[in-house]
Amino acid sequence: MKRDILKFLKTATVFTIIFTCSFYISANNGDEDKEHHTQGKISPDDLKVGERLFHGLIITGDNTSNCASCHNTAVIDTFNWNPSALDLALSTENMDSASFANTLLNPVTKRISEVHENVKLDAQQIVQIRYYLDTIKTSGLKEHKRLVSRLAFFIILIIILLAAVTDLAFTKKIKFKPLHGTIILLALVFIFKIIYEDAVALGRSQDYAPLQPIKFSHKVHATDNKIDCIYCHHTVETAKSAGIPSTNVCMNCHELVREGTYSGRFEIQKILTHMEKEEAVRWIRIHKLPDHVFFSHAQHAGVGKLDCSECHGKVEDMHLLKQVEDLSMGWCLDCHRSKKVNFIGNEYYEKTFEDFHEKIKNNEIDSLTVAELGGENCMKCHY
Ligand code: HEC
Ligand code: HEC
Ligand code: HEC
Ligand code: HEC
Ligand code: HEC
Ligand code: HEC
């Protein structure tokens, strides 16, 4: 039995090592290819120096500036006000060397002067940094580490599973049968756990908070600058959909407001670029009910006079918008069963539910829930 376990561990280790090696070889191959493309004009040394300068590994001035600590070079999933290294590469691609150097060394606006206070670079170093930014433009940001390791873990599990099944059915190196069973069972449990978690995350997206193409902050607008939700989501009380404001709406203010406290000019500049190119901003949709469900904002925010926060949480405190509720059927029904409808003085109900209204007036009943008005009826929510 002990020998069997050792034998199995040996097989699994060999499989894993082969897999991991090929994984990294293929990953590194990509980088090499990319370097070949640029080798013609730039020495690989310049690139290396540029990369090290960007990561603050070469002393420049009294307080060496680590550009990468603000301008991330890998994909991150947390909100961060600074432009990423890829953002920089794209926004500066058409600058000539002089204006690129100028942007870095002679900042004109408040925010960029604060953040670049420690930037001390000579002309050659600036060119080297630019080479490095150019490679990021072609290779993109590095992939998120956790995602890669989760994928690697998943594949290793599959390999272990295959190894156990192969040995059980064909090679028969291990004589102690229950060992196969245990290993197969454990591998299957973990594989299904991963698949289940990913599937649930696909369909329902509680806590979903994707990074948006422009770092638009509800906190900055709704709380710090006291802009009403309806200013931007202006169909919320009258239509099914709340609507997402167009770039024109942003321009009402950003024609004048060109610099933000946190992001400087960088993010607001993106609005102007979209205006010039006459391109809509491709906001990533967060809340999304399945197609077979009918939901109307007019019914809830208009007629029902519910506060946005009952369904969306404290949006006005969020820099990065997050879906707070799971939007499941149970969630809709829980509220419909407990929520007292706001009858008195509501024109909509006076017309639609005259008899209920009479009963309340005559003190036969004192309140009604949404469910009692038909809010549990399948056809109200399903086509
Ligand atoms: C200055 C304009 C503006 C104001 C004011 C504003 N929003 Fe938004 N809202 C947006 C934009 C732009 C988006 C899309 C980007 C995003 O998701 O952050 C959005 C997205 C949303 C979403 C998510 C939409 C989706 O994709 O599911 C919700 C919910 C929302 N806003 C609620 C509110 C609430 C509640 C308020 C008031 C507290 C409010 N908004 C005020 C502009 C605004
Ligand atoms: C009613 C006026 C108004 C509208 C409409 C408006 N904004 Fe703003 N926005 C502001 C103000 C005021 C600031 C804060 C400037 C500051 O920080 O001093 C701001 C700041 C910003 C910032 C920078 C945040 C920071 O602090 O760095 C971004 C990005 C931004 N807005 C994007 C948008 C987008 C995108 C839209 C359209 C969906 C939009 N805004 C619509 C008034 C508005
Ligand atoms: C403390 C954080 C921080 C550090 C460190 C930092 N930056 Fe920045 N950088 C920013 C922010 C924030 C902006 C956007 C400011 C604005 O638009 O007003 C910016 C803007 C820039 C821009 C201008 C992009 C454009 O299109 O306007 C360049 C280029 C740049 N940074 C390069 C660098 C380099 C190179 C280094 C290292 C030597 C560096 N930064 C270090 C925060 C930082
Ligand atoms: C009763 C719950 C509820 C209330 C109250 C509510 N919402 Fe929503 N909201 C939702 C649901 C559910 C969705 C997803 C709708 C879909 O996918 O069809 C949504 C989606 C949105 C969206 C994305 C665009 C759209 O219409 O699909 C925005 C923006 C939004 N809500 C803003 C608001 C604002 C602003 C308020 C307050 C004035 C508000 N909501 C009040 C439940 C609510
Ligand atoms: C926070 C409480 C709340 C949540 C959550 C909620 N609702 Fe409602 N809903 C109400 C209220 C209050 C009314 C009453 C307005 C009315 O009677 O027209 C209502 C009415 C309705 C109606 C009209 C019912 C009728 O009798 O005509 C439909 C359809 C509906 N909701 C669908 C949904 C769906 C779908 C969801 C989930 C995605 C949902 N609601 C989530 C509070 C809620
Ligand atoms: C208040 C609104 C509402 C009412 C009333 C309602 N549903 Fe749903 N139903 C939903 C929502 C929202 C979803 C989507 C849930 C999700 O995506 O997880 C859903 C999903 C479903 C699904 C798909 C399975 C699932 O969980 O995703 C079935 C089947 C279903 N409903 C049947 C019914 C039947 C039968 C009734 C009547 C007894 C009913 N529903 C009443 C809101 C409602």
Range name among 200-209, 234-243, 273-282, 364-373 with the lowest pLDDT average: 200-209
Tell whether ligand 6 has an atom less than 6 A from the beta carbon of residue 116.
no
**Mean pLDDT, to the nearest integer, of 181-193?**
91
pLDDT band of 12, cuts 50, 70, 90: low
Q: What is the pLDDT of residue 102?
A: 87
Which of 70, 111, 216 has most ligand 2 atoms within 8 Å of CB, for mutation?
216
Most confident of 21-25, 40-44, 216-220: 216-220
Nearest to 173 by CA among 294, 17, 310, 11: 11
Per-residue burial over 287-297, b = 16 or more CB atoms within 10 Å of its CB, e = otherwise:
eeeeeeeeeeb
> Across residues 70-93, what is the average pLDDT?
89
Q: Is the pLDDT of residue 282 over 70?
A: yes
Instruction: Identify the band that residue 37 occupies on the pLDDT scale cut at 50, 70 and 90.
Output: very low
The atom number, within ligand 4, closest to the CA of 229 reads 35
Q: Decide if 266 contacts 84 (C-beta within 8 A).
A: no
Residue 44: Cβ-neighbour burial (10 angstroms; 0-12, 13-18, 19+): exposed
**Ligand of minimum distance to the alpha carbon of 85:** 3
Range with the lowest mean pLDDT among 91-95, 229-233, 324-328?
A: 91-95
Are the C-beta atoms of 85 and 69 separated by less than 8 Å? no
Higher pLDDT, 122 or 4: 122
Q: What pLDDT score was predicted for residue 28?
A: 42
Per-residue pLDDT band for 251 (boundaries 50, 70, 90) equals very high
Ligand 4 atom nearest the C-alpha of 288 is 17
Q: Are 257 and 269 in contact (CB under 8 A)?
A: no
- Give yes or no for a contact between 115 and 265, defined as CB atoms under 8 angstroms apart: no
Residue nearest to atom 21 of ligand 6 (CA): 329
pLDDT at 196: 82
Q: Which of 287, 303, 314, 336 to mutate to test the pocket of ligand 4 (most atoms within 8 A of CB)?
A: 287
Nearest protein CA to atom 17 of ligand 6, as residue: 328
Q: Is 236 in the pocket of ligand 4 (CB under 6 A)?
A: yes
CA 227 – ligand 2 centroid, Å: 10
**Residue 75: which residues within 8 A CB-CB, separation 6 or more?**
141, 142, 143, 144
336 lines ligand 6 (CB under 6 A): yes
Q: Using CA positions, which residue lies closest to atom 11 of ligand 3?
A: 82
Can you tell me the distance from the alpha carbon of 231 to that of 210, in angstroms, rounded to the nearest whole number? Answer: 23
Percent of the chain clearing pLDDT 90 (strictly above): 46
Ligand nearest to the CA of 94: 3
Alpha carbon nearest to ligand 5 atom 21, residue: 375
pLDDT-derived band at 15 (thresholds 50, 70, 90) equals low
Closest CA to 88 of 267, 349, 333: 267
Token pair recorded at residue 94: 């058409």
Binned at pLDDT 50, 70 and 90, residue 200 comes out as low
Q: Which atom of ligand 1 is nearest to the CA of 287?
A: 27
Distance 241 CA to ligand 2 centre (A): 23
Q: What is the mean pLDDT of residues 104-121?
A: 85
Residue 41, pLDDT above cutoff 70? no
State residue 14's pLDDT score: 58
Give me ligand 2 centre to Cα 94, in Å.
26
Q: Give the Å distances, CA to CA, from 104 to 66, 88, 107, 263, 344.
A: 13, 11, 6, 16, 62
Pocket residues: Cβ below 6 A from ligand 3: 65-67, 69-71, 82-83, 88, 91-92, 103-104, 109, 111-112, 115-116, 119, 129, 264-266
What pLDDT score was predicted for residue 145? 63
Of residues 24 and 260, more confidently modeled: 260
- The mean pLDDT of the chain is 84
Hey, whose CA ends up nearest to atom 39 of ligand 5? 332
300 lines ligand 4 (CB under 6 A): yes
More confident residue, 27 or 260: 260
For ligand 4, say whether the CB of 221 is within 6 Å of any of its atoms: no
pLDDT attached to residue 103: 84
Integer Cα distance of 62 and 34 in angstroms: 34
Ligand number nearest to the C-alpha of 234? 4
Question: How many Å lie between the centroid of ligand 1 and the Cα of residue 228?
Answer: 10
Mean pLDDT, range 33-58, rounded to an integer = 71
Lowest model confidence (mean pLDDT) among 87-96, 130-139, 167-176, 345-354: 345-354
Asked if residues 64 and 117 have their Cβ atoms less than 8 Å apart, the reply is: no
360 against 203, higher pLDDT: 360
Distance 287 CA to ligand 6 centre (A): 16
